[in-house]
Amino acid sequence: MAFDSKDTAAFKDVWVFCEQRDGEIMSISHQLLSEGRKLADDLGANLCGVLLGSGLAEEDIKSLGGYGADKVYNIDHELLKVYTTDGYTKAICDIVEDKKPEIVLFGATTLGRDLAPRCAARLHTGLTADCTHLDVDVEKYKAFLKTTSTIDVDNTEFEENTNLKMTRPAFGGHLMATIICPRFRPQMSTVRPGVMQTQAFDEAQAAKVEIENYAVELTADDIHVDVQAVEKTAKKLVDLIGADVIVSVGRGISKDPEKGIAIAQELADALGGVVGSSRACVDAGYISQDHQVGQTGKTVHPKIYIALGISGAIQHKAGMQDSECIIAVNKNEDAPIFEVASYGIVGDLFSVGPMLTESVKAILANK
């Protein structure tokens, strides 16, 4: 039957595009499967992983079951070994048109953000970028709004349906918006790495996951680019997502960015942590992009998050507000960062920062 994205009733199941690079499945795939599992359970649908590559190990393919997949569509083709927009778009769109999933989730990686929009345009459906929360069940969505919004949920009308409700920071990060795609299928969204929590690996599920090897027709003529090299940077990137302690700097360091970053680094070193940053400092060129925390940077949940001179735009808060303990130091007592902080000090980071380092060192020396 011909594919018609408006025939919404013909679509079922929740799919996750499982990204691999160099044959290694990326952790974002596990995060999306864990989230997709909840959506599939609420819909009474299957959760399927879609894996594109060449010669992937069976153990790796099965591992997707351990993170929640009922089924894996394994699309093995020599031309899918290295990512190309053309090859991956054709493979994804062909299988989507054939199997008609209701929801497709992609990681908002530099490749996912290249692939997902191209697929959505070809499939004639909507796509919502960089979602921070997903719901299909209205009651669960209402419960989410009760804790995260100022909406008077009990006195607001909500249409009862199982449309995917995709929530993301909007308007440059000043508000949150929930987006729906009611008239077209599949409903597609991208999610940033680190936003969704990975469930515990379930070995029994991995053992019994169904694998369907799916053949796509793909020839070299379908691919209009030539990937001549893939190179990893020699520079060691900061591991924000794995860090227990993050000391982040914001616009407050502007009067002496080098000194501000040095102060943050010393405090991070004392606590065994790493240095993060707001978008403002990255945009101003004070610090490299891999340090950026927030909607367009990384989403983190460390044990301690120290915000030095960060005002706290929603865009930044979206990336760090689930940290266990948030400490904010800002000269402006009205800075929005204090709204999410556990502890606040109104003061200058250039004096408070070094004192914090000394104080931490003193405590650790006495342990």
Q: Which of residues 292-311 bind another protein (CB under 8 A)?
A: 295-296, 303-304
Enumerate residues 158-187 that contact another protein by CB under 8 A: 163, 165, 170-184
Residues 6 or more apart whose Cβ sits within 8 Å of residue 67: 29, 30, 33, 34, 37, 198, 199, 201, 202
Residue 348 within binding range of another protein, rule CB under 8 A: yes
> Under the criterion CB under 8 A, does residue 233 sit at the interface with another protein?
yes
Is 334 among the residues that bind another protein (CB under 8 A)? Answer: no
**Residue bearing tokens 């351990």:** 66
d(CA 99, CA 86): 20
The answer to whether residue 284 forms part of the interface with another protein (CB under 8 A) is no
Among 310, 317, 319, 350, binds another protein (CB under 8 A): 317
Query: Per rule CB under 8 A, is residue 325 in the interface with another protein?
Result: yes
Answer for which of 57, 215, 220, 227 binds another protein (CB under 8 A) is 227
Structure tokens that stand for 337 in this block: 């960062």
- Residue 347 in the binding site for another protein (CB under 8 A): yes
List the one residue out of 263, 258, 250 whose CA is nearest residue 353: 263
- 275 contacts another protein (rule: CB under 8 A): no
Q: Cα separation of 144 and 152, whole Å?
A: 12
Q: Are 40 and 46 in contact (CB under 8 A)?
A: yes
The single residue among 77, 99, 122, 140 that binds another protein, judged by CB under 8 A, is 122
Interface positions, 46-105, toward another protein (CB under 8 A)? 85-86, 89
With beta carbons less than 8 A apart as the criterion, state whether 181 and 164 touch. Answer: yes
CB 6 to another protein: min, Å:
10
Kindly state whether residue 125 participates in binding another protein, applying the rule CB under 8 A.
Answer: yes
Q: Does 338 bind another protein (CB under 8 A)?
A: yes
Judged by CB under 8 A, the stretch of 38-46, 202-210, 227-235, 255-263 that binds another protein is 227-235
Q: At what angle do helices 349-365 and 257-271 cross, to 10 degrees?
A: 20
Among 57, 237, 255, 332, binds another protein (CB under 8 A): 237
> What is the C-alpha separation between 44 and 48, in angstroms, rounded?
13
Least Å distance between CB 213 and another protein? Answer: 28
Least distance (Å) between residue 231 CB and another protein:
5
Q: Is 197 in the site for another protein (CB under 8 A)?
A: no
The size of the interface with another protein (CB under 8 A), counted in residues, is: 89
The least distance separating another protein from the CB of residue 182, rounded to whole angstroms, comes to 7
Q: Is 277 near another protein (CB under 8 A)?
A: no
**What's the rounded Cα separation, in Å, for the pair 182 and 179?**
10
| 13: Cβ contacts below 8 Å, ≥ 6 apart | 40, 45, 46, 47, 48, 99, 101, 102, 103
Closer residue to another protein (CB): 93 or 209: 93
356-360: which pairs have CB atoms within 8 A and are 24 or more residues apart? 356/267, 356/306, 356/329, 357/263, 357/266, 357/267, 357/270, 360/267, 360/270, 360/271
